[in-house]
């Protein structure tokens, strides 16, 4: 196998190509690692019995080689050298922050934004001011090394005073315990005062002991849903020791039962989160189409505008994706709402009572908006970063964890829905809207300015589309085609739920989402979608007015 | 366009009725009359026309518009270097607008109307399939720069992108040998390229590495699929069975972002389950948040991060041409770079832009690629390429972690598909056959061959 | 015979006259003139015209349901595509063993996806008569089933539009699936012969162009005959006051179904003529966007006039050819603007303008058709 | 109605598709017979066990304040609305609740809407042509030709409603009154046994009103006519028997004088704003 030296000049040249997401990511890392650094500082101060810098430099020198195999060896060396800075070096190496200057100095990049980066000496930790990134060369690693580093760090962290680190380490060691780690582990377990860590370590040890064929270790794994545990048990079950095998099998049986339930919950969650996306996309239509009877084919593009607003916000506030995201909620609403007003004034008002023409005209608008984005901004997708509090997932148990970004979207959808309900039920606007939809002339004669109501309603619907866009920017591409992918689904949801009925939209959206996710595993993604569509088509034939139809004379109109 | 080629379609067809026969006669007369003078004129001062057939609008514009710029840049450079055969090169750009029938129509326009000497174009398989009959009928030259599913060899098309054996197979070799992967997820968008590639890989994994049925999971999703929850969860479960697992992704374009995001969010890390992608390059990365992708792999024949002077020169030229510091280069661009130079070389060799002459001359032509090696045009109209595996870095670039020791020659017909095992392609005389069946020892009946014979008969 | 009635109408005579004239002119310019002649029409252009004509036929079919029945179908692309696929399957079978794998029966895409035998629904498509029958039946049946369900439960207006859109969208997804056995995204392509004639010869292209012209003429005649019959007036009645028509004792849903099916079949024929001329059929023809675009052709030309639909189809597509050639970026803007401007400022379309210029037409709520219904009843 | 059914029905001949000799059985007197009919929209009872009998050839006026359920009643008779409970019989043979609009229409029940609805895009002549009693299945309609007797019949009706000059103008341009007549004309073309006329003179001038009155009274005898009207003057001018509806059920019935002297009627009605007598 042949290895390439790291092409740093090229990397440097190309950095602008995607500097910005890279920055965001790096910043994110920094946030995570602040404690680490602080730790590094004091460690280096109050640890005088460290070996000489030359020795340390030798250790690091060994890392700066082309062959990944040699790098692996070098890492091993660092681990075995009980240098107190070893852990930090490994961490920095893992994060790609351990770099080397032209003059061969090993430095830690503290922050990699802009052309010149502040760095600190890898050995002493003293700040060295800023150095142009062109004069820095990163010490590259690959996945194999990443794994090695993580395990190594885990072992070191076992003894760390920091609880979080010990937890992470214990998590990591599950299934990676080998003979020479085993017996120090026993003492560690005794010394450990945190239950969670201890439990994990016990399991880790138990797995190791089962591999050695010790039957009594099984009891310690009872009821654990962790995949690694399952793997260990599976191995044991297929092992040649019959007694152990039977025991393992029975243990597995219990676990499988548990897993089924969790899987069911998982699917439900998936369904709801997909449903929430549908609801968000459709709820705006439910207002413009359902309440006003206006077919707005440009709805999808309003969603797109919302998403682009998020992107723009993040451009304005580089390095603060979270703040930008929160700010873009009102911003997105505003932008889309204004666009909506423009559409209403510019096109729709001339087509009152001609729904089909409205449909065509607004479709034209959607084409224009799309092409506008393509020419003005770019045909390429835009980068929208997820703030770190939205990435990752919420750990329920070893077999079930819920992805955070989707949970936020789900919550957001419900909030938006509740808000709309309030507006429609409690506010003057809602009252007027309902009045106008029931009987325009009458409402007019009662002094309601129908035109104004139209504008407000349409703005509201469009604004909500904008909100949907903000949410979607966290789940999918932000590009000119974003809208198209949702318009048909949105119409389906509204029609299925029953036009002019917000509750209908909510129920329809969520249930369609769940149906889709339940079908997907055995029908496949494509077929599932088709089945759902056909189902709706047939359903509409049976009940032309959807799930929750409006009754009586009002419906005749 | 010389006279006899244009007559081929006419003189070698059965006619529905008398008027048509008269038509043909008239046409032939017209052509031979007008045609010859044209040729005379053309040879002297007319510029050499280079057709560019890439979508500038519609869904494919994202990927294809940069290729159009690339060819225009190459033409510019060529002209600065004094053109070709002392004649200027002139780019003829048309926009097929990501609409497949329109691709065929535009190709016809380029060949019949504009009478271009060569076409550089197409991205999607379907667009190539749409253009193919036109190019064969009007005997044009098409250079196709994108990795594709193989299973095709046309006398008039030159495939400068990777065939499956130049991308997919080396990639799984790497995963198997270097990473020790035993369990495979073949995830792809539901169209021909992933379908074929995955079929080949399935067969390959089972035959070469003896991978068991239950250790291969195949999954197809529609274009632009955005809800990956279920599939990713499934991959996670599939990967947590104790064996080292990897995902071989032929997922196309827009579907990738949500896919990688979901992977990251569900805590599936590149170190646990690496994903090797065949359709994710610098261009694609420039449009997305790379954070979730770091450490995942891609297999290409070129990376912008490749450390060679040729590459740096190309990048400099490109950045200068686009005037955008941030613009990136990618694999299909290199393919065009190679293809263009090969064509230019062949034209010099043949001393004319005449299609048949160039077709014969180009086989065996060797030009430098951007990764420090050379690319040669094989008799099956595919080229030799090195295969590189890169790891995604947080800066949207790839860190090359592995490379085939030598270049790999493209296979038109995969050895791992029952249908095409016995087929070979060789466009040199006397064989002149795109799908010669070594079993039956006969040429599988592609009309391209017939027409070629017909042409010789003239 | 009711089909011959429209001949007595001025608009029909005019339309057919122009059509025939145009066809003969193109044929002449293509065959008789030498290539050097500036007026010479080359095969490429003939082919282009052929495509426009098949689009025109499609537009006529849409106008029949939208203009006269008031049903805005956003799914007619589906019928068009089905007809196209039926023809495509025939053309695929015609390739026979000349495919790249030289397989006597299976199309190439089936061979390299390891299909061992032809799916049952491909059976019979090697016979022209069967295939051509399918060109009518496939769209016809779909329309029959869909229409029956929809009209029976009185799904009309916007709802119907949305549902038709969903229909074509679902079909698109379905045809994208490779398991369906229609070539997935790549669709059907690389055709060789039709009825034994080489598709790649210019004379056959001319033939196809003429055939399309004839089909358009016939299609127009059928639609016109329906429109100007008493049934046509029932349609208009349904469009303007459905309930009233019911109280007059007409089974509205059946009239709607009948016309809908006829229209779908015409769309199918258009698709069947389109495919051999462009040389490929793939699921993108099912895309809702295309279906909506068809409606624009009709709206631009003028609803409920039939000839307006033809004008619209040719105008828009010609513009498309020009634009995407000259200034690609601008095309979508232009298209979008057309949608808006036509619906807002030109509700009666070009035909409306013509009618207006002829005699500032009556203030009736619909364009055109008042002018031609008189002669019939009188 | 099964899918296959709908196909086969195309070429089946229904007796009720020949309204001319529609076998309505009126030997027992009443041509229309409503018993204990009740309908409610979202709890609100639009019709509350209503009982009503119309004799063959009778001209009946139905009056009542807004929301008394007049229009709903017509909807029920013509099959537009289905009652929750009750019986509706046409003659003593046809149960209207078992039929849909076209069937009922072909039985010979014609309806004129409150707001005049004619086919504005079609000419007056064509409006009548469509209304014409004829084979109304698809193919016959498609191949139908204009034959002399039909033309005569249409001309005749054109005379009756006095629109002969306007016969070829689109109905859209007619005045309000003319539309009303055209609509009545369309009903006549159906040769109905029972005519339901909803507010025929709303927004008419005096002369128009008189003309309409003649028209309706002229019809009575040949056909049974049910007129729903607000305008007391008009009602008085044509009515022989009057039924007062209130809150969805019959309040009083009898000659105009009887009714107008009925104290309950006076209470709910004659006090009401639209009194004109």
Domain boundaries, chain A: 8-146, 265-483
The helix (run of H) or strand (run of E) holding residue C189 is strand C188-189
The pLDDT-based confidence of D215 (bands split at 50, 70, 90) is confident
Which of A1-5, A395-399, D2-6, D224-228 has the least mean pLDDT? A1-5
Tens digit of each residue's pLDDT (9 = 90 or more) over A135-158? 777 787 777 787 788 888 888 888
Q: In this structure, are residues B375 and B367 in contact, taking their beta carbons and an 8 Å threshold?
A: yes
Average pLDDT, chain D: 79
Residue B16 has pLDDT above 70, yes or no: no
Indicate which of D41, D82, D114 best probes the interface with A, i.e. most A CBs within 10 Å of its own CB: D41
Q: In this structure, are residues C62 and C72 in contact, taking their beta carbons and an 8 Å threshold?
A: no
Q: In this structure, are residues A478 and A236 in contact, taking their beta carbons and an 8 Å threshold?
A: no
Question: Average pLDDT, stretch C21-26?
Answer: 93
Tens digit of each residue's pLDDT (9 = 90 or more) over A326-378? 999 999 999 999 999 999 999 998 988 788 889 899 999 999 999 899 889 88
Residue C82 has pLDDT above 70, yes or no: yes
| CA distances (Å), origin C342, targets A347, A354, C158, C339, C353 | 11, 14, 19, 6, 12
Looking at domain D29-270, its CATH superfamily turns out to be P-loop containing nucleotide triphosphate hydrolases (3.40.50.300)
Candidates C173, C190, C197; nearest CB to B133 = C190
Average pLDDT, chain A: 81
The pLDDT-based confidence of A134 (bands split at 50, 70, 90) is low
Q: In this structure, are residues C86 and C50 in contact, taking their beta carbons and an 8 Å threshold?
A: no
By C-alpha distance, which of A103, A101, A94 is closest to A133? A101
Q: Which residues of chain C are within 8 Å of residue D122 when distances are taken between CB atoms?
A: 233, 236-237, 373
Residue D5 has pLDDT above 60, yes or no: no
Given the structure tokens 């069937």, which residue do they identify?
Answer: D103
Residue A26 has pLDDT above 60, yes or no: no
Tell me what pLDDT residue D6 has.
44
Least Cα separation, residue A357 to chain C (angstroms): 6
By C-alpha distance, which of C53, C26, C50, C54 is closest to C40? C26
The Cα A44–Cα A89 span in angstroms is 12
**ipTM of this complex:** 0.82
- 8 Å CB contact of A553 and D41: yes
The pLDDT-based confidence of C86 (bands split at 50, 70, 90) is very high
Candidates D10, D80, D119; nearest CB to C240 = D119
Burial of D210 (0-12, 13-18, 19+ CB in 10 A): middle
Tell me what pLDDT residue D18 has.
41
By C-alpha distance, which of C40, C125, C137, C53 is closest to C90? C125
CB atoms within 10 A of CB C136: 18
Tell me what pLDDT residue A133 has.
63
What percent of chain A is predicted at pLDDT more than 70?
Answer: 88
Chains C/D: 3 or more C-beta pairs closer than 8 A? Answer: yes
The pLDDT-based confidence of A292 (bands split at 50, 70, 90) is confident
- 8 Å CB contact of B419 and C32: no
Given the structure tokens 């200057």, which residue do they identify?
Answer: A101
Tens digit of each residue's pLDDT (9 = 90 or more) over A454-496? 899 999 999 999 999 999 999 888 888 888 889 999 999 998 9
Least Cα separation, residue A353 to chain B (angstroms): 33
- For residues B129, B132, B134 and B135, what is the CA-based torsion angle, rounded to 10 degrees? 150
The pLDDT-based confidence of C125 (bands split at 50, 70, 90) is very high
The Cα B135–Cα C309 span in angstroms is 34
Least Cα separation, residue B104 to chain C (angstroms): 7
The pLDDT-based confidence of A11 (bands split at 50, 70, 90) is very low
Tens digit of each residue's pLDDT (9 = 90 or more) over A257-268? 888 899 999 999
Tens digit of each residue's pLDDT (9 = 90 or more) over A223-240? 778 888 888 888 888 777
Residue C223 has pLDDT above 90, yes or no: yes
Residue B32 has pLDDT above 70, yes or no: no
The set of residues, in sequence order, having a beta carbon less than 8 Å from that of B193 and lying 6+ positions away, is B125, B147, B148, B149, B250, B252
By C-alpha distance, which of B394, C35, C195 is closest to A96? B394
The set of residues, in sequence order, having a beta carbon less than 8 Å from that of C78 and lying 6+ positions away, is C139, C142, C164, C167, C168, C171, C286, C291
The Cα A256–Cα A251 span in angstroms is 9
Tens digit of each residue's pLDDT (9 = 90 or more) over D13-32? 444 444 444 567 667 678 88
CB atoms within 10 A of CB B228: 27
Tell me what pLDDT residue C1 has.
60
Residue B398 has pLDDT above 60, yes or no: yes
CB proximity D12 to C under 8 Å: no
Tell me what pLDDT residue A249 has.
84
Query: Backbone phi, then psi, for B412, in 5-degree steps?
Result: -70, -40
Residue B14 has pLDDT above 60, yes or no: no
- More confident position, B281 or D191: B281
β-pairing, D30-41 with D85-90? Answer: antiparallel
- Mind listing the domains of chain B with CATH numbers? 3-162+328-384 (3.40.50.2300), 165-306+387-408 (3.40.50.2300)
Average pLDDT, chain C: 87
Average pLDDT, chain B: 84
Candidates D105, D121, D126; nearest CB to C366 = D121
Question: Average pLDDT, stretch B33-50?
Answer: 58
Tens digit of each residue's pLDDT (9 = 90 or more) over A294-309? 889 999 999 999 999 9
Question: Average pLDDT, stretch D79-97?
Answer: 86
β-pairing, D249-254 with D241-246? Answer: antiparallel
B232-235: long-range pairs with CB below 8 Å, 24+? B232/B259, B232/B262, B232/B263, B232/B266, B232/B268, B233/A266, B233/A270, B233/B266, B234/A521, B235/B185, B235/B187, B235/B263, B235/B268, B235/B273
- 8 Å CB contact of B220 and A526: yes
Residue A516 has pLDDT above 90, yes or no: yes
Which of A21-30, A350-359, B283-292, B382-391 has the least mean pLDDT? A21-30
What percent of chain A is predicted at pLDDT more than 90?
Answer: 26
Tell me what pLDDT residue A201 has.
84
Question: Average pLDDT, stretch B381-399?
Answer: 89
The pLDDT-based confidence of C276 (bands split at 50, 70, 90) is very high
Tell me what pLDDT residue B382 has.
95
Question: Average pLDDT, stretch D237-260?
Answer: 84
Question: Average pLDDT, stretch B336-361?
Answer: 95
Residue A391 has pLDDT above 60, yes or no: yes
Residue B67 has pLDDT above 90, yes or no: yes
The pLDDT-based confidence of B84 (bands split at 50, 70, 90) is very high
Residue A34 has pLDDT above 60, yes or no: no
Residue B55 has pLDDT above 70, yes or no: yes
- For residues B448, B125, A521 and A228, what is the CA-based torsion angle, rounded to 10 degrees? 110
Tens digit of each residue's pLDDT (9 = 90 or more) over A167-218? 888 888 877 777 777 778 888 888 788 888 888 888 888 888 887 777 777 7
Which of A420-429, B139-148, D42-51, D73-82 has the least mean pLDDT? D42-51
Domain boundaries, chain C: 2-377
Residue D277 has pLDDT above 50, yes or no: no
Question: Average pLDDT, stretch C198-214?
Answer: 92
The set of residues, in sequence order, having a beta carbon less than 8 Å from that of A528 and lying 6+ positions away, is A516, A519, A520
Buried-state track A321-348, b at ≥16 Cβ within 10 A, e below 16 = beebbebbbebbbbbbbebbbebbeebb
For the whole model, what pTM was predicted?
0.84
CA angle B76, B80, B82 (to 5 degrees): 120
- More confident position, B222 or C272: C272
Residue D246 has pLDDT above 80, yes or no: yes
The Cα A550–Cα A533 span in angstroms is 23
CB proximity B10 to C under 8 Å: yes
CB proximity A447 to D under 8 Å: no
Residue C378 has pLDDT above 70, yes or no: no
Tell me what pLDDT residue A39 has.
46
- Touching D (3+ Cβ pairs <8 A), the chains are A, C
Tens digit of each residue's pLDDT (9 = 90 or more) over B108-167? 999 988 899 999 999 998 999 999 999 999 999 999 999 998 888 899 999 999 999 999
Q: In this structure, are residues D78 and D101 in contact, taking their beta carbons and an 8 Å threshold?
A: yes
Tell me what pLDDT residue B205 has.
95
The Cα D65–Cα A412 span in angstroms is 51
Tell me what pLDDT residue D23 has.
65
Q: Which residues of chain D are within 8 Å of residue C249 when distances are taken between CB atoms?
A: 19, 102, 105-106, 136, 190
Question: Average pLDDT, stretch C150-172?
Answer: 90
- Touching C (3+ Cβ pairs <8 A), the chains are A, B, D
């Amino acid at each position: 196998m042949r290895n390439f030296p790291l092409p740093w000049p090229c990397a440097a040249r190309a950095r602008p190509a995607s500097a910005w997401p890279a920055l965001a990511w790096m910043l994110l890392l920094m946030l995570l690692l602040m404690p680490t650094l602080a730790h590094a500082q004091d460690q280096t101060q109050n640890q005088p019995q460290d070996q000489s810098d030359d020795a340390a430099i030798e250790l690091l020198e060994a890392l700066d080689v082309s062959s990944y195999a040699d790098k692996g060896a070098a890492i091993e060396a660092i681990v075995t050298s009980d240098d107190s800075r070893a852990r930090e070096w490994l961490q920095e190496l893992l994060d790609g922050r351990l770099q080397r200057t032209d003059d061969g100095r090993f430095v830690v990049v503290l922050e990699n934004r802009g052309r010149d980066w502040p760095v600190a000496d890898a050995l002493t930790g003293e700040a060295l001011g800023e150095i142009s990134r062109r004069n820095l060369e990163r010490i590259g690693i690959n996945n194999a090394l990443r794994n090695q580093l993580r395990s190594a760090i885990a072992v070191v962290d076992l003894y760390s005073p920091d609880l979080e680190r010990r937890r992470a380490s214990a998590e990591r060691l599950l299934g990676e315990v080998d003979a020479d780690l085993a017996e120090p582990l026993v003492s560690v377990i005794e010394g450990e005062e945190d239950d969670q860590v201890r439990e994990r370590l016990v399991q880790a040890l138990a797995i190791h002991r089962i591999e050695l064929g010790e039957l009594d270790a099984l009891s310690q794994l009872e009821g654990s849903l962790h995949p690694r545990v399952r793997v260990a048990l599976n191995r044991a079950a297929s092992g040649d020791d019959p007694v152990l095998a039977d025991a393992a099998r029975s243990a597995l049986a219990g676990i499988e039962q548990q897993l089924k339930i969790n899987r069911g919950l998982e699917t439900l969650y998936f369904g709801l989160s997909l449903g929430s996306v549908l609801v968000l996309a459709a709820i705006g239509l439910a207002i413009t189409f359902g309440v006003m009877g206006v077919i707005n084919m440009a709805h999808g593009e309003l969603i797109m505008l919302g998403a682009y607003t998020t992107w723009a916000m993040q451009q304005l506030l580089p390095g603060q994706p979270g703040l930008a995201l929160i700010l873009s909620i009102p911003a997105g609403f505003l932008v889309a709402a204004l666009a909506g007003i423009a559409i209403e004034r510019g096109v729709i008002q001339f087509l009152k009572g001609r729904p089909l023409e409205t449909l065509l005209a607004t479709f034209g608008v959607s084409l224009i908006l799309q092409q506008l984005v393509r020419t003005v901004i770019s045909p390429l997708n835009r980068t929208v970063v997820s703030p770190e509090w939205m990435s990752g997932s919420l750990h329920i148990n070893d077999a079930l964890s819920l992805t955070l970004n989707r949970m936020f979207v789900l919550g957001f959808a419900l909030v938006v829905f509740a808000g709309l309900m309030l507006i429609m039920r409690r506010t003057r606007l809602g009252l007027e809207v309902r009045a106008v939809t029931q009987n325009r002339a009458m409402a007019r004669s009662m002094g309601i300015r129908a035109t104004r109501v139209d504008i407000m309603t349409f703005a509201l619907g469009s604004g909500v589309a904008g909100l949907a866009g903000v949410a979607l920017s966290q789940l999918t591409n932000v590009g000119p085609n974003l809208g198209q992918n949702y318009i048909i689904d949105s119409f389906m949801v509204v029609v299925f739920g029953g036009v002019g009925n917000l509750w209908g939209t909510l129920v329809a959206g969520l249930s369609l989402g769940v149906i889709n996710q339940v079908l997907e595993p055995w029908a496949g993604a494509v077929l599932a979608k088709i089945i759902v569509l056909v189902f709706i088509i047939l359903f509409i034939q049976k009940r032309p007015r959807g799930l929750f139809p409006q009754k009586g004379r009002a419906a005749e109109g | 366009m010389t006279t006899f080629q244009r007559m081929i379609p006419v003189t070698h067809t059965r006619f529905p009725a008398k008027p048509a026969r008269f038509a043909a006669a008239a046409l032939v007369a017209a052509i031979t009359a007008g045609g010859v003078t044209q040729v005379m004129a053309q040879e002297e001062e007319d510029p050499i026309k280079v057709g560019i057939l890439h979508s500038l609008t519609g869904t494919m514009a994202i990927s294809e518009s940069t290729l159009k710029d690339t060819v225009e840049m190459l033409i510019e450079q060529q002209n600065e270097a004094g053109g070709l055969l002392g004649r200027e090169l002139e780019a003829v750009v048309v926009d097929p607008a990501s609409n497949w029938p329109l691709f065929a129509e535009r190709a016809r326009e380029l060949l019949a109307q504009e009478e271009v000497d060569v076409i550089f174009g197409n991205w999607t398989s379907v667009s190539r399939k749409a253009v193919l009959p036109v190019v064969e009928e009007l005997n044009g030259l098409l250079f196709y720069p994108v990795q594709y599913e193989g299973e095709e060899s046309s006398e008039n098309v030159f495939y400068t992108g990777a065939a499956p054996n130049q991308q997919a197979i080396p990639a799984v070799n790497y995963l198997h040998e270097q990473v020790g992967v035993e369990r495979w997820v073949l995830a792809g968008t539901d169209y021909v390229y992933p379908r074929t590639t995955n079929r080949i890989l399935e067969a390959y994994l089972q035959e070469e590495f003896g991978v068991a049925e239950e250790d291969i999971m195949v999954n197809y999703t529609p274009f632009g699929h955005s809800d990956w929850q279920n599939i990713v969860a499934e991959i996670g479960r599939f990967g947590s069975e104790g064996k080292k697992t990897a995902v071989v992704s032929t997922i196309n374009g827009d579907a990738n972002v949500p896919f990688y995001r979901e992977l990251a969010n569900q805590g599936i890390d590149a170190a646990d389950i690496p994903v090797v992608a065949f359709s994710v390059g610098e261009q694609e990365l420039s449009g997305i948040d790379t954070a979730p992708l770091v450490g995942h792999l891609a297999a290409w024949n070129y990376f912008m991060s490749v450390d060679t002077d040729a590459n740096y020169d190309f990048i400099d030229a490109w950045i200068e041409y686009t005037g955008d510091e941030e613009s990136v280069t990618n694999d299909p661009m290199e393919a065009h770079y190679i293809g263009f130079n090969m064509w230019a070389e062949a034209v010099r060799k043949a001393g004319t832009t005449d299609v048949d002459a160039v077709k014969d001359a180009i086989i065996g032509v060797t030009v430098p690629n951007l990764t420090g090696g050379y690319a040669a045009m094989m008799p099956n109209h595919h080229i030799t390429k090195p295969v590189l595996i890169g790891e995604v870095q947080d800066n949207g670039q790839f860190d090359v972690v592995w490379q085939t020791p030598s270049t790999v020659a493209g296979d038109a017909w995969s050895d791992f598909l029952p249908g095409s095992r016995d087929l070979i392609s060789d466009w040199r005389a006397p064989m002149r056959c795109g799908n010669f069946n070594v079993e039956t020892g006969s040429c599988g009946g592609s009309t391209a061959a017939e027409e070629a014979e017909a042409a010789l008969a003239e | 015979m009711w089909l011959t009635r429209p001949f007595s109408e001025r608009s029909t005579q005019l339309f057919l006259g122009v059509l025939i004239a145009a066809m003969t002119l193109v044929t002449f310019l293509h065959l008789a003139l030498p290539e050097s002649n500036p007026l010479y029409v080359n095969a490429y252009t003939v082919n282009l015209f052929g495509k426009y004509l098949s689009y025109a036929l499609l537009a006529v079919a849409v106008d029949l349901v939208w203009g006269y029945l008031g049903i805005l179908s956003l799914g007619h692309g589906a019928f068009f595509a089905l007809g196209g696929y039926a023809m495509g399957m025939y053309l695929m079978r015609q390739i026979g063993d000349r495919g790249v794998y030289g397989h006597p029966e299976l199309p190439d895409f089936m061979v390299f996806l390891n299909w061992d035998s032809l799916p049952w629904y491909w059976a019979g498509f090697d016979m022209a008569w069967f295939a051509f029958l399918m060109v009518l039946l496939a769209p016809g049946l779909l329309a029959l089933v869909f229409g029956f369900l929809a009209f029976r439960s009185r799904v009309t207006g916007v709802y119907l539009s949305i549902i038709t859109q969903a229909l074509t969208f679902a079909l698109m997804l379905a045809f994208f699936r490779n398991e369906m056995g229609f070539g997935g995204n790549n669709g059907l392509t690389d055709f060789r012969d039709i009825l034994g004639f080489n598709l790649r010869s210019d004379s056959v292209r001319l033939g196809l162009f003429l055939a399309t012209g004839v089909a358009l003429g016939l299609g127009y005649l059928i639609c016109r005959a329906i429109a100007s019959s008493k049934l046509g007036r029932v349609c208009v009645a349904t469009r303007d006051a459905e309930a009233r028509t019911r109280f007059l004792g007409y089974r509205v849903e059946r009239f709607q179904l009948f016309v809908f099916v006829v229209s779908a079949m015409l769309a199918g024929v258009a698709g069947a003529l389109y495919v051999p001329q462009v040389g490929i059929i793939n699921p993108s023809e099912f895309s809702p966007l295309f279906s909506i675009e068809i409606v624009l052709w009709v709206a631009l030309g003028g609803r409920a006039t039939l000839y307006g639909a033809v004008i619209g189809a040719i105008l828009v597509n010609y513009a498309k050819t020009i634009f995407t050639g000259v200034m690609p970026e601008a095309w979508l803007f232009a298209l979008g603007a057309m949608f808006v401007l036509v619906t807002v400022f030109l509700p009666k379309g070009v035909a409306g303008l013509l009618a207006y210029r002829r005699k500032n037409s009556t203030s009736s709520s619909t364009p055109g058709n008042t002018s031609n219904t008189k002669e019939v009843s009188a | 109605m099964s899918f296959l059914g709908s196909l086969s029905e195309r070429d089946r001949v229904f007796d009720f598709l020949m309204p001319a000799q529609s076998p309505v059985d009126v030997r027992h007197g009443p041509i229309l017979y409503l018993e204990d009919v009740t309908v409610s929209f979202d709890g609100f009872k639009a019709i509350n066990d209503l009982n009503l009998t119309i004799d063959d050839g009778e001209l009946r006026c139905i009056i009542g304040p807004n929301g008394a359920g007049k229009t709903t009643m017509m909807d029920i008779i013509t099959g537009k609305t289905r009652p929750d409970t009750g019986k509706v019989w046409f003659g003593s043979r046809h149960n209207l609740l078992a039929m849909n609009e076209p069937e009922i229409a072909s039985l010979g029940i014609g309806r004129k809407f409150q707001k005049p609805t004619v086919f504005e895009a079609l000419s007056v002549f064509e409006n009548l042509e469509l209304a014409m009693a004829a084979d109304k299945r698809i193919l016959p309609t498609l191949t139908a030709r204009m034959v002399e007797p039909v033309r005569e019949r249409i001309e005749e009706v054109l005379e009756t409603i006095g629109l002969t000059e306007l016969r070829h103008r689109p109905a859209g341009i007619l005045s309000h009154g003319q539309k009303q007549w055209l609509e009545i004309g369309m009903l006549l073309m159906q040769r109905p046994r029972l005519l339901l006329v909803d507010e025929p003179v709303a927004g008419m001038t005096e002369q128009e009103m008189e003309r309409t009155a003649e028209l309706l009274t002229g019809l009575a005898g040949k056909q049974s006519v049910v007129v729903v009207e607000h305008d007391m003057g008009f009602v008085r001018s044509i009515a022989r028997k009057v039924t007062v509806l209130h809150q969805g059920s019959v309040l009083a019935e009898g000659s105009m004088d009887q009714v107008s002297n009925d104290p309950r009627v006076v209470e709910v009605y004659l006090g009401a704003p639209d009194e004109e007598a």
